[in-house]
């Protein structure tokens, strides 16, 4: 695929007020995406827009609105709402397009624009490329006349609607009464909805990271900084800790002892439960090449397969849709439960974990370690451009490492989609051998770079 100027692996992302995350680029996105999703019929066309709590959202949102309204699209603004909530509401409100303004787990200095089609799924690479082509055309083309401009309004019930949709994913015969739950909302998009959903299901809730000020999103809190969740679990003697990221599409959990449970362990827990109760579709779970070999072996022991994809939740979802699978995700906690959501949803995934807790009657510490992870090591090697992975010495080092592992592990060497880095990952039963092969491959990449 040709290199794109704006869109990366997850929408457009960058430092706020620097290219490509400027008001001008946001205006162009609104103009281009609006033109592309406006059909020729004479009905009103609708785009819905949500955001997280970043200060720069106040700059990006009106620029997008101006672009969409100027080509004749009506706009509905949700205010702070999780990314999966925007995807759900796009479909629920029969919108032509959904937009989320967020840089997910990044710090407040960054922001991003994610687009969802009318079906609630992220746009394909092809559609994003078509929008890019339109963005670079003249801004005066295809504008609506004075009487055809889009109308803009803000609605207040989007959060309440999302809470109800999320609560409906929990088993109807069960509730969370008697459970003490810490939820860390990362001072982000779920700061209102997550505590409410858990409380209304019966839990005693201890919220953390629910005081956004525009600059503290993901700051020493949320899924990328589980220390805040762990400390709160110990302080309040909670039964479980739940940590979301800035746009609430990923989840990390800790048990009542403060031990962290990553995305691989959560997938294993949900997969085993769903397989036992006949809810797992397609006979497999979808994960990326970075998920631990221990997960693969655990699932095999349950008679469940593991389908691997490139890194990125969009590739996980594409494989899930094409293969008819309903559970997938990433080690980072980006979990997709397609019976309930069209993209990763940390809160929905957390409710599935809580459902297993409630139904089993076991404390989280007995459920947290579904499998013993295989020793895994990841090293990032910075380079100055070019294609070091095409270098003969690098290919030879990878081949030699695979021969030494001799089927008792895996090697994944890939270029980062966002930075000039080569990521070298190896895993296997022999931790010393894993360290050595990573060192050898990284050395070969550095020499080639």
The C-alpha torsion from 433 through 436 and 437 to 438, rounded to 10°, is 120
Cα–Cα distance list, 298 to 251, 302, 394 (Å):
21, 7, 32
Burial of 403 (0-12, 13-18, 19+ CB in 10 A): exposed
For β-strands 327-329 and 284-288, DSSP reports them as parallel
| DSSP conformational letter for 146 | G
Give the active site residues.
104
- Work out the widest C-alpha separation in the chain, in whole angstroms: 71
The C-alpha torsion from 92 through 94 and 98 to 100, rounded to 10°, is -20
Q: Is 53 within 8 Å of 187 (Cβ atoms)?
A: yes
Tokens 């600059």 belong to residue: 215
Q: In what order do the strands lie in the sheet with 73-80?
A: 7-8, 11-15, 110-116, 97-101, 45-51, 73-80, 152-154
Q: Give the end-to-end CA distance of the chain in Å, rounded to a whole number.
A: 23
3-state secondary structure 187-234: CCCCCCHHHHHHHHCCCEEEEECCCCCCCCCCCCCCCCCCHHHHHHHH
| Tokens matching residue 202 | 């019966």
Q: Is 27 within 8 Å of 60 (Cβ atoms)?
A: no
Name 93's Cβ contacts closer than 8 Å, sequence gap at least 6. Answer: 46, 48, 76
d(CA 449, CA 376): 24
Tokens 């949320």 belong to residue: 222
For β-strands 305-309 and 284-288, DSSP reports them as parallel
List the helix and strand counts (H, then E) for the chain: 14, 19
**Which phi and psi angles does 26 have, rounded to 5°?**
-60, -40
| DSSP conformational letter for 283 | T
């Amino acid at each position: 695929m040709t290199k794109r100027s704006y869109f990366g692996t997850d929408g457009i992302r960058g430092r706020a007020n620097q290219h490509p995350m400027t008001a001008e680029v946001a205006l162009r996105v609104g103009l281009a995406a609006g033109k592309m999703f406006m059909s020729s019929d004479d009905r009103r066309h609708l785009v819905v827009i949500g955001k997280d709590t970043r200060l720069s959202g106040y700059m990006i949102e009106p620029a997008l609105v101006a672009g969409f309204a100027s080509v004749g699209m009506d706009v509905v603004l949700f205010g702070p709402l999780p990314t999966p909530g925007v995807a759900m509401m796009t479909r629920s409100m029969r919108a032509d397009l959904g937009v989320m303004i967020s840089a997910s787990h990044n710090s407040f200095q960054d922001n991003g624009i994610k687009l969802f089609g009318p079906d609630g799924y992220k746009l394909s690479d092809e559609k994003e490329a078509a929008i890019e082509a339109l963005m670079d055309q003249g801004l005066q083309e295809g504008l609506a006349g004075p009487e055809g401009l889009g109308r803009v309004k803000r609605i207040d019930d989007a959060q309440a609607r999302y809470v109800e949709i999320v609560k409906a994913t929990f088993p109807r015969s069960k509730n969370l009464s008697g459970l003490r739950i810490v939820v860390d909302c990362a001072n982000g998009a779920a700061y209102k909805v997550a505590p409410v959903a858990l409380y209304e299901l019966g839990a005693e809730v201890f919220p953390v990271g629910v005081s956004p000020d525009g600059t503290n999103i993901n700051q020493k809190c949320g899924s990328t900084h589980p220390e805040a969740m762990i400390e709160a679990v110990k302080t309040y003697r909670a039964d479980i800790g739940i940590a979301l990221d800035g746009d609430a599409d990923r989840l990390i959990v800790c048990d009542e002892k403060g031990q962290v449970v990553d995305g691989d362990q959560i997938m294993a827990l949900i997969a085993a439960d769903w397989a036992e109760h006949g809810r797992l579709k397609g006979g497999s779970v979808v994960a990326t090449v970075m998920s631990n070999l221990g997960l693969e072996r655990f699932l095999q022991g349950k008679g469940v397969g593991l389908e691997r994809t490139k890194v990125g939740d969009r590739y996980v979802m594409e494989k899930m849709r094409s293969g008819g699978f309903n559970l997938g995700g990433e080690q980072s906690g980006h979990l997709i439960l397609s019976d309930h959501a069209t993209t990763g949803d940390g809160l929905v995934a957390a409710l599935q974990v809580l459902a297993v807790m409630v139904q089993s009657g076991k404390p989280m510490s007995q459920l947290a370690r579904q499998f013993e992870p295989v020793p895994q090591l990841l090293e990032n090697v910075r380079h100055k451009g070019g294609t070091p992975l095409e270098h003969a010495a690098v290919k030879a080092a990878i081949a030699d490492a695979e021969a030494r592992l001799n089927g008792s592990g895996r090697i994944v060497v890939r270029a980062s989609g966002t930075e000039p880095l080569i990521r070298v990952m190896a895993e296997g039963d022999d931790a010393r051998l894993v360290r050595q092969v990573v060192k050898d491959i990284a050395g070969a990449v550095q020499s080639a770079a």
